[in-house]
Structure 1
Amino acid sequence: MKCVIIDDEKTARLTLSKLCERVGDIEVLAEFENPADALTFLAENQIDLLFLDIHMPELKGSEFVKSVSELPDVVMTTTDPSFALEAFQYNVVDYLVKPISLGRFLKTMEKVKAKKTEAPKSEEETSIFVNINSRLVKLNFDEVQIIEAKGDYVQIKTEDKKYTVHNTLKKIEEKLPVSKFLKVHRSYIINLDKIVDIEDNSILIAEEIIPVSRANREVLLNRLNML
């Protein structure tokens, strides 16, 4: 995911840049102190996400949003929680209150990813067709347990079979319902309904131990229904 940061505070830009780096799948293409300087860059480059400060001396974030005809998904940042309602008036994905914590940042990124992967159809897909040795095989999402990246291939594990597909984990992730699946590690996507046990930085699914990255552990715990 490619993003741009616009904030007049250097420390705020640095914090967001480090958080993006920590999550791992967000590339910061550019940072701008003055929003006016970002206009040309946004017009000439394909951006997935914009982090935008609400209040800046040269041009307010709200005014910037109004001035740009085509914007990527926007996450507004502010030092004052009372401006949250103002942020949502401009149809942004979410807002972040400074100082920004890792946990809050991860929740925002889940919203961004959910928005990008949500299907335009009224009903969520329940299956996917995968190309296996020139055959299209239908896999029901309820049967999929683990999806693992293996070099140039991806292995999809169901309750009774393993399918090897020439594809990338990222492309497959885009086809999965965000309500059911979660990428917990750079090499693993898991079906949340198949989790048997969680211990420290690992998950047990069908007697297989799956590693969970530190950045994704909090996202995982937030997604689970816990007592």
Structure 2
Amino acid sequence: MTSLSAIYVDDEMPALELIKNYCSSIPELRLLACFRQAAEALEFIKKNDVDLLILDIQMPEISGVDMVKMIPPGKLIIFITADPGHAAQAYELDVIDYLVKPVFPERFLKAVQKAVDYQKYLESSNLQDYIIFKSDYMVNKLPIDEIHWIEGCGEYLKIVTRFKQYMVLQRLNDFLEKHDQFGFIRIHKSYIVLKDHIESRNSQWAILKNGKQLPIGRTYKDTFS
């Protein structure tokens, strides 16, 4: 079982006590310490192995955002704040999740589970049946079979599923290089699909099992040979 060591930093004592109680009920989480001052937390991080930082954003002297910029890269971050206007900053810092107060236990558990899943993904050398990516200000976990197709949109790509579309800051070539072990193939300069999801094809179109038709680019016809 993957276990994460964590600290929580918030200048409000009621919030500290609440999140501390939430953490105590999550087996995969080891809450090492709580702090009301970011400076004390920064000193703790220098001397201890901390996987996950749960941070309030609005704190005196050193904000949660500033604190993230001061720690070594690679730490998992969950922001908690009373102001939803900080979402853009959270996105830029590549955090696991962004929670708005009041935080309820089910929502907090979901955020921690994302961190656990992401850590498993980083540590595993085996093939997984899902991908993890950042979209809509948070990290998302998506089963491979739910992906209908992926469309390139310049610097972004659009992951299309039955119920939702995700915009991801990544190029098609980079996505394919990272995930080609799952059976993704490029059929057009703008489209990637799972080979197993193709029902039939002709010289111009690939027909997916869900009925969607996608164009086959001239330079990608040999993909099917």
Instruction: Give the Cα separation in 1 of the matches to 2:58 and 2:128.
Output: 41
Match of 2:88 among 85, 90, 101: 85
Asked if the contact 1:88/1:94 (under 8 Å) is kept, the reply is no
Residue 64 (structure 2) pairs with residue 24 (structure 1): no
Counting aligned pairs with the same residue, the percent is 33
Q: Aligned pair in 2 of structure 1 residues 119, 30: CA closer, same or farther (>3 Å)?
A: closer
Q: Which amino acid aligns with 2:55?
A: L
The alpha-carbon deviation at position 119 of structure 1 amounts to 5.0
**Shift of residue 122 of structure 1?**
10
CA distance in 2, matches of 1:122, 1:3: 24
- Is 1:104–2:107 an aligned residue pair? yes
Q: 2:50 is paired with a residue of what secondary structure? A: coil
Q: Over the residues paired in the alignment, what is the CA RMSD in angstroms?
A: 2.7
Give the CA deviation at 1:87: 1.4
2:118 to 106, 112, 115: 115
Task: Report the CA distance shift for 1:101/1:120 in structure 2 as closer, same or farther (over 3 A).
Answer: same
Greater Rg over alpha carbons, structure: 2
In structure 2, the residue corresponding to 1:14 is in which secondary structure? helix
Say if 1:54 and 1:87, in contact at 8 Å, map to a contact too: no
Give yes or no for contact 1:3–1:51 (8 Å, CA) kept in 2.
yes
Residue 139 of structure 1 corresponds to none
d(CA) in 1 for partners of 2:79, 2:122: 24
2:57 is aligned with 1:69: no
Amino acid at match of 1:90: L
State the shift of 1:31 in Å: 0.8
Question: What's the CA shift string for 1:125-181, capped at 9, x where partnerless?
Answer: 58xxxxxxxxxxxxxxxxxxxxxxxxxxxxxxxxxxxxxxxxxxxxxxxxxxx969x
Pick the aligned partner of 2:55 from 34, 44, 52: 52
The match for 1:174 is none
Query: What are structure 1's unaligned runs of at least 5 residues?
Result: 127-177, 181-227
- 1:124 is displaced (CA, Å) by 2.4
CA distance in 2, matches of 1:113, 1:2: 11
Q: Secondary structure at the match of 2:32?
A: strand
Q: Tell me the secondary structure at the aligned position of residue 30 of structure 1.
A: strand
Aligned residues: 130
Counterpart in the other structure of 2:12: 9
Q: Relative to structure 1, is the Cα distance of residues 27 and 63 closer, same or farther in structure 2, using a 3 angstrom cutoff?
A: same
Distance across 1 between alignment mates of 2:29 and 2:44: 18
Q: Where in structure 2 are the equivalents of 1:1-227 lying within 5 Å?
A: 1-70=4-73, 72-118=75-121, 124-125=127-128
> Partners in 2 of 1:110 and 1:93 — Cα distance?
10
Partner in structure 2 of residue 189 of structure 1: none
Q: What's the CA shift for 1:68?
A: 1.9
Is the alpha carbon distance of 1:51 and 1:120 closer, same or farther for their aligned partners in structure 2, counting shifts above 3 Å? closer
Q: For residues 113 and 62 of structure 1, what CA distance do their matches in structure 2 show?
A: 22
Residues 119 and 179 of structure 1: CA distance in aligned 2, closer, same or farther (over 3 Å) = farther
